């Protein structure tokens, strides 16, 4: 690569076709490099090679997943709520009263392992800009985190850094963090998962799509100056496995970006003011692949051309080459298409927010993306070839033979607690296990109050944000994933993740309407991983069709493996629901004595992949719980109806750890005990993880109305007991004082992380 | 006529919207003030809201203190204009020397968002006169640099003269000297508070409505002239 004045120009490339080029170091295969040469009819320039290497990376092009992801559109249930769907920066959902919301979850796994604090921080920053690019005001974030064993030395390095980074960036942006997940498993020891979600709100008319239109319109780059950080982040970092060993991580550290949330806060306010003033034709955030991606996608989606003077880009480091500028993933940058007559006002608003802004080019009618460097042409390509026409792979997928042995290893063989004291000990062990323990150590580092619209936040089943203060319109959001279930059966496991997020949203009384996803897998070049992936996508697409909730967008993260060891397949599913009036929302808290405790749904003997099998026996085998999406749907309709009618004091979904853990959480949240029976086999009753279940507290005096409602929706309901007292009392078996429950639940994470 | 309460937005202010909502709920008119402007637009009181003004770069509040609007706010405060600084606003008031002491990193070194009880020690200020002396209220602490520090003589002086407005009641969350959650100036018109009363004005979105009293007190005081 060369500096000013000696840039590798298009003219030079045509004359020096034999010059060896470092395509492999940039992450392109030999075949892909040859494809570039064929498309151009010559060798690419250094700058063009840079563009193709990042745009055709797995991270940006979805080349291994694209043909499977089509199912999300093909199988999508009819929905009038979708205003913009897959392919945009984020999906947009109509929630009524003239409002729309947009939401998306995205991974930042590899950067967060290499440099936990900045990796996680910029993960939040990136997803927030995606939402901003749709024309929405970001209003909340969530984080779904997975780490190696809680007591592993490296977890003590990675977890506090990741949590600190999420907190630092989100808090500094003034976005409440309303929920997420925290899970531990040895499979994530070499590949922690850091998935960040952002929610944005807009009026219908505010929607902006990324497409460069209008010949002569200006291309404006605004936000931070471009530096040498994150070069090749999409290709060499996000789209390859770690080689293993500390040296490999250190060598990749320059590929991690560094975040400045203060600049991003200014960008948010600046963009919203620009939108409100009607000065933006189109807008795109700069994330993975930086200026390469923004220019190629804007031009490709607009069906136009674009001319860009790369030397006009403000730099933090004047020695950067054109190729490096194109690849840089410096944070807190946006690109807008602006009518020339509006440019002056545009720049004035940027100046008021102290956001640097520069006109770097214009929209043309040539159909070409042309980039110059001090007057010399260094890029001349059809933008579609970079943005949409990259290679698409039909990777071989094969169900591994080991799957049968795993399924045959039924947890029924494991010794089970039976007597009261054993059951009591099992409950306390579950509550004290890091995955189920109280998460305050983490969530207390997140600002959940800022903006004053947070109605529910962790540890509730779902976060709830008020959208309109007058009418009470709001939305509920939850994310869920369970790598253990998916390892046993990726199709069913993914549907269980969908079902749990759907149920979590329903437990607040909201109506689930749309889905986002972050699909975390190992290497797509491994046929058994590819089989997991195809099964998972098929499961999610089928599940969404049955639940009537379309997928609005998402993200695929491959190469989550170190050496030959892949993570469990871990699709994380986010579900969005609508609450017409947030004042009717349901909390998991047992609020006061006297309410009747009722179990909804059917309990079977289902322990495959369960928290109990993991905590008590370190076991993973058998079948995950049965999926029954029709039952999930009935349960959700029942909960929304009961919330609307004011019949319930509390509702809590039943998932990891079963009924016993759900009851303990509701007791601890409200500071109220309860006295219940455990019908049937007490162990199964208390700890089974059968899906499509919830526990509710029915307001005294309306028991019959609620029973009738359950019957009319075909949801089995069983009265277990009553809220009250200062202990969790399971009749005839055991009793645990709330203080003892709380101590077990709350001591685990502080004991591990200080 | 209603009380007009100015809320200053600095680059990086975050809780300005919440402070405005609290003023409105208290019956006042929230007037948005911009850091880069001069003049206070004739407001009857000013709130410096929470957030990370200028990204907390250099030191919390150290850059905001030099914003153009501060050139008008500081003399007005010295002349008796009621001013409440919340969280980052408290830090700015200390940096501007309108209040003694400083706020430093929490003793646990981590950001804390927690609903907690504080005891109102002084009801003689414009902002606290709606509370009873010794009354405990639940508000929201959310800060990474919320530990109040000052030299021993200053701390002793604050205690003797009754200039400690509020103390943490249920345990010290951040290492603040003498459990101090808020202080005032000698005249009682300028108050700095580390926890956020504006996030405790509605049980729907906060721990309760205990914090509303700060805003109703100021609005009423202004109305009474």
In this prediction the ipTM stands at 0.96
Find the helix packing angle between A46-55 and A290-302, rounded to 10°.
80
Q: Which residues pair with A125 in a beta bridge?
A: none
C-alpha A730, offset from chain centre: 38
What does the pLDDT read at residue A253? 47
Three-state secondary structure call for residue A64: coil
Question: DSSP alpha helices (H): ranges in A342-419?
Answer: 343-352, 383-387, 402-408
B176-207 in b/e burial notation, b at 16+ Cβ within 10 A? bbebbbbbbbeebbbbbbbbbbbbbbbebbbb
Question: DSSP alpha helices (H): ranges in A409-482?
Answer: 420-432, 440-443
- Cβ-defined contact of A452 to B206 (cutoff 8 Å): yes
Q: Which residues pair with A373 in a beta bridge?
A: A376
| Candidates A59, A68, A301, A652; catalytic one | A59
Contacts of residue A457, Cβ cutoff 8 Å, sequence gap at least 6: A176, A177, A178, A179, A443, A448, A463
Tokens of A214: 């209008």
What does the pLDDT read at residue B199? 98
pLDDT < 70 regions, chain B: 225
pLDDT band at A250, cuts 50/70/90?
very low
DSSP string covering chain B, please? ---EEEEEE-TTB-THHHHHHHHHHTT-EEEEEETT--S-TT-SEEEE--B-GGGG-SSTTTTGGGSTTHHHHHHHHHTT--EEEETHHHHHHHHTTSSSSEEE--TTSS-EEEEEEEEE----STTTTTSPTT-EEEEEEEESS-EEE--HHHHHHHHHHT-EEEEESSS-SS--GGGEEEEE-TTSSEEEESSBGGGSS-TTTSS-STTHHHHHHHHHHHHH-
Q: What is the mean pLDDT of residues A392-417?
A: 96
Q: What is the mean pLDDT of residues A134-144?
A: 96
Tokens of B82: 């009621």
Q: What is the mean pLDDT of residues A624-645?
A: 98
Could you give all domains of chain B from N- to C-terminal order, each with its CATH number? 4-224 (3.40.50.880)
What does the pLDDT read at residue A207? 79
What does the pLDDT read at residue A30? 95
Tokens of A685: 């009753």
d(C-alpha A442, C-alpha A449), whole Å:
15
What does the pLDDT read at residue A1? 42
What does the pLDDT read at residue B57? 86
Q: Which residues pair with A650 in a beta bridge?
A: A697
Distance from CA of B52 to the nearest CA of A (A): 6
Q: Is residue A59 annotated as a catalytic residue, yes or no?
A: yes
What does the pLDDT read at residue A248? 45
What does the pLDDT read at residue A2? 40
Greater confidence (A564 vs B80) lies with B80
What does the pLDDT read at residue A4? 44
C-alpha A556, offset from chain centre: 10
| Measured CA angle at A697 (ends A695, A698), to 5 deg | 125
Query: Has residue A630 got a pLDDT over 90?
Result: yes
A424-457 in b/e burial notation, b at 16+ Cβ within 10 A? bebbbebbbbbbbbbbbbbbbbbbbbbbbbbbbb
What does the pLDDT read at residue A238? 58
| DSSP code, position A289 | B
From chain B, the residues in CB contact with A469 under 8 A are 21
Query: Has residue A123 got a pLDDT over 90?
Result: yes
Closest CA to A274 of A361, A328, A208: A208
- Top residue of B113, B138, B208 to mutate, by most chain A CBs within 10 Å, is B113
Contacts of residue A708, Cβ cutoff 8 Å, sequence gap at least 6: none
Query: Has residue A84 got a pLDDT over 90?
Result: no
pLDDT band at A90, cuts 50/70/90?
confident
pLDDT band at A205, cuts 50/70/90?
confident
Query: Has residue A5 got a pLDDT over 70?
Result: no
Say which residue the tokens 């951040």 belong to. B174
Three-state secondary structure call for residue A430: helix
Query: Has residue A304 got a pLDDT over 60?
Result: yes
Query: Has residue A246 got a pLDDT over 60?
Result: no
Q: What is the mean pLDDT of residues A219-225?
A: 96
From chain A, the residues in CB contact with B11 under 8 A are 262, 265-266, 353-354
Across the A:B interface, residue pairs with CB atoms under 8 Å apart total 83
Find the helix packing angle between A490-506 and A629-644, rounded to 10°.
10
Query: Beta-carbon neighbour count of residue B153 at 10 Å?
Result: 9
Residue of B nearest to A464 (CA): B205
Half-sphere exposure of A293 (CA within 13 A, CB side): 28
Q: What is the mean pLDDT of residues A652-674?
A: 98
Residue of B nearest to A268 (CA): B12
Q: Using CB atoms, which residue from A164, A167, A452 is nearest to B205?
A: A452
Could you give all domains of chain A from N- to C-terminal order, each with its CATH number? 587-754 (3.90.650.10)
Q: Which helix (H) or strand (E) holds A223?
A: strand A218-223
Q: Using CB atoms, which residue from A172, A353, A446 is nearest to B52?
A: A172
Q: Which helix (H) or strand (E) holds A744?
A: helix A738-753
* Contact predicate A635/A715, CB 8 Å: yes
What does the pLDDT read at residue A236? 58
Report CA-CA distances (Å) from B212 to A25, A599, B83, B192, B208.
61, 39, 16, 16, 9
What does the pLDDT read at residue B225? 65
Closest CA to A640 of A597, A703, A578: A578
Burial status of residue A19 (CB atoms within 10 A of its CB: 0-12, 13-18, 19 or more): exposed
Distance from CA of B77 to the nearest CA of A (A): 27
Query: Has residue A245 got a pLDDT over 60?
Result: no
Query: Has residue A22 got a pLDDT over 80?
Result: yes
pTM of the model: 0.94
Query: Tens digit of pLDDT for each residue in B57-100?
Result: 888 988 899 999 999 999 999 999 999 999 999 999 999 999 99
| DSSP code, position A509 | T
Mean residue pLDDT of chain B comes to 96
Residue of B nearest to A174 (CA): B14
d(C-alpha A133, C-alpha A16), whole Å:
40
* Contact predicate A619/A411, CB 8 Å: yes
Question: DSSP alpha helices (H): ranges in A645-700?
Answer: 658-670, 682-687
Sign of the dihedral defined by the CA atoms of residues A71, A73, A77, A82, in that order: positive
| DSSP code, position A594 | T
Report CA-CA distances (Å) from A559 to A496, A533, A564.
23, 12, 10
Query: Tens digit of pLDDT for each residue in A510-561?
Result: 999 999 999 999 999 999 999 999 999 999 999 999 999 999 989 999 999 9
From chain B, the residues in CB contact with A266 under 8 A are 11-12
Burial status of residue B149 (CB atoms within 10 A of its CB: 0-12, 13-18, 19 or more): middle
Please identify among residues 190-219 of chain B the ones whose CB lies closer than 8 Å to any CB of chain A. Answer: 196, 198-199, 204-206
* Contact predicate B163/B186, CB 8 Å: yes
d(C-alpha A321, C-alpha A6), whole Å:
10
| Measured CA angle at A77 (ends A75, A81), to 5 deg | 135
What does the pLDDT read at residue A89? 63
């Amino acid at each position: 690569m060369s500096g000013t004045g000696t840039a590798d120009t298009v003219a030079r490339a045509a004359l020096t076709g034999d010059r060896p080029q470092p395509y492999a170091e940039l992450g392109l295969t030999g075949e892909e490099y040859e494809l570039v040469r064929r498309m151009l009819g010559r060798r690419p320039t250094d700058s063009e090679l840079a563009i193709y290497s990042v745009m055709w990376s797995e991270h940006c092009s979805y080349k291994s997943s694209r043909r499977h992801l089509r199912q999300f559109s093909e199988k999508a249930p009819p929905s009038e709520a979708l205003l913009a769907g897959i392919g945009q920066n984020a999906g947009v959902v109509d929630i009524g009263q003239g409002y729309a919301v947009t939401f998306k979850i995205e991974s930042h796994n590899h950067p967060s392992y290499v440099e936990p604090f900045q990796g996680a921080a910029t993960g939040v920053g990136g997803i927030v800009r995606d939402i901003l690019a749709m024309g929405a005001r970001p209003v909340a974030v969530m984080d779904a985190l997975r780490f190696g064993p809680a007591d592993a030395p490296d977890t003590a390095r990675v977890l506090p850094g990741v949590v600190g980074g999420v907190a630092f960036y989100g808090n500094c942006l003034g976005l409440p963090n309303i929920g997420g997940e925290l899970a531990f498993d040895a499979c994530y020891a070499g590949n922690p998962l850091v998935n960040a979600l952002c929610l944005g709100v807009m009026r219908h008319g505010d929607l902006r799509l990324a497409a460069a239109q209008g010949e002569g319109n200006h291309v404006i780059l605004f936000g931070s100056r471009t530096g040498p950080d994150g070069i090749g982040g999409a290709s060499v970092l996000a789209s390859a496995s770690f080689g293993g060993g500390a040296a490999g991580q250190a060598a990749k550290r320059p590929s991690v970006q560094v975040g400045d949330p203060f600049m991003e806060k200014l960008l948010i306010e600046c963009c919203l003011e620009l939108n409100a003033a009607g000065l933006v034709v189109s807008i795109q955030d700069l994330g993975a692949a930086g200026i390469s991606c923004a220019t190629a996608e804007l031009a490709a989606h607009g069906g136009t051309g674009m001319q860009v003077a790369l030397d006009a880009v403000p730099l933090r480091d004047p020695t950067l080459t054109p190729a490096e500028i194109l690849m840089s993933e410096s944070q807190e940058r946006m690109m807008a298409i602006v009518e020339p007559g509006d440019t002056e006002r545009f720049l004035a608003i940027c100046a008021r927010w102290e956001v640097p802004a520069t006109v770097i080019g214009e929209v043309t009618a040539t159909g070409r993306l042309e980039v110059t460097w001090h007057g010399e042409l260094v890029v001349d390509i059809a933008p579609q070839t970079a943005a949409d026409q990259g290679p698409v792979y039909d990777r071989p997928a094969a169900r591994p033979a080991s799957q049968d042995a795993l399924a045959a290893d039924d947890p029924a063989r494991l010794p089970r607690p039976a007597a009261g004291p054993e059951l009591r000990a099992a409950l306390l062990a579950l509550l004290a296990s890091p995955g189920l323990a109280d998460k305050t150590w983490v969530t207390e580092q997140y600002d959940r109050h800022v903006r004053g619209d947070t109605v529910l936040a962790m540890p509730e089943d779902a976060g709830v944000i008020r959208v309109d203060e007058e009418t009470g319109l709001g939305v509920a959001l939850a994310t869920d994933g369970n790598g253990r279930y998916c390892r046993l059966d990726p199709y069913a496991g993914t549907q269980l993740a969908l079902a749990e997020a759907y149920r979590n949203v329903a437990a607040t009384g909201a109506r689930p309407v749309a889905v986002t996803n972050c699909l975390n897998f190992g290497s797509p070049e491994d046929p058994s991983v590819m089989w997991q992936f195809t099964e998972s996508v098929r499961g999610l697409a089928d599940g969404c069709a049955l639940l009537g909730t379309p997928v609005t967008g998402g993200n695929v993260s491959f190469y989550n493996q170190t050496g030959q060891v892949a993570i469990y397949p871990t699709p994380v599913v986010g579900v969005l629901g609508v609450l017409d009036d947030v004042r009717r929302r349901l909390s998991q808290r047992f609020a006061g004595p006297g309410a009747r405790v009722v179990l909804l749904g059917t309990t079977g003997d289902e322990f495959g992949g369960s928290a109990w099998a993991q905590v008590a026996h370190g076991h993973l085998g058998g079948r995950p719980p049965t999926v029954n999406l029709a039952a999930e749907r009935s349960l959700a309709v029942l909960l929304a109806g009961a919330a609307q009618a004011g019949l319930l004091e509390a509702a809590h979904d039943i998932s990891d750890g079963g009924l016993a853990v759900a009851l303990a959480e509701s007791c601890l949240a409200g500071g109220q005990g309860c006295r219940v029976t455990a019908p049937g086999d007490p162990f199964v009753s208390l700890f089974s993880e059968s899906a499509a279940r919830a526990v509710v507290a029915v307001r005294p005096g309306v028991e019959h109305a609620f029973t009738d409602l359950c019957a009319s929706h075909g949801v089995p309901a069983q009265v277990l007991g009553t809220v009250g007292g200062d202990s969790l009392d399971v009749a005839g078996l055991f009793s645990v004082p709330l203080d003892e429950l709380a101590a077990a639940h709350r001591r685990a994470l502080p004991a591990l992380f200080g | 006529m209603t009380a007009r309460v100015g809320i200053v937005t600095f680059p990086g202010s975050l809780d300005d919207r919440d402070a405005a909502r609290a003023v409105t709920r208290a019956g006042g008119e929230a007037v948005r003030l911009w850091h880069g402007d001069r003049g206070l637009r004739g407001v009857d009181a000013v709130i410096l809201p929470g957030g990370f003004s200028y990204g907390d770069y250099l030191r919390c509040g150290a850059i905001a203190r030099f914003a153009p609007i501060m050139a008008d706010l500081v003399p007005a405060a010295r002349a008796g204009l009621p001013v409440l600084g919340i969280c980052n606003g408290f830090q700015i008031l200390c940096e501007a020397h309108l209040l003694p002491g400083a706020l430093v990193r929490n003793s646990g070194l981590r950001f804390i968002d927690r609903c907690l009880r504080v005891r109102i020690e002084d009801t003689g200020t414009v902002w606290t006169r709606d509370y009873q002396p010794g009354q405990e209220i639940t508000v929201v602490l959310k800060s990474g640099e919320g530990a109040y520090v000052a030299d021993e003589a200053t701390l002793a002086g604050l205690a003797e003269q009754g200039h400690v407005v509020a103390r943490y009641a249920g345990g010290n969350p951040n290492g603040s000297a003498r459990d101090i959650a808020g202080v005032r100036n000698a005249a009682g018109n300028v108050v700095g508070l580390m926890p956020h009363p504006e996030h405790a004005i509605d049980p729907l979105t906060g721990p309760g409505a205990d914090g509303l009293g700060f805003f109703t007190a100021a609005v009423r005081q202004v109305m009474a002239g």
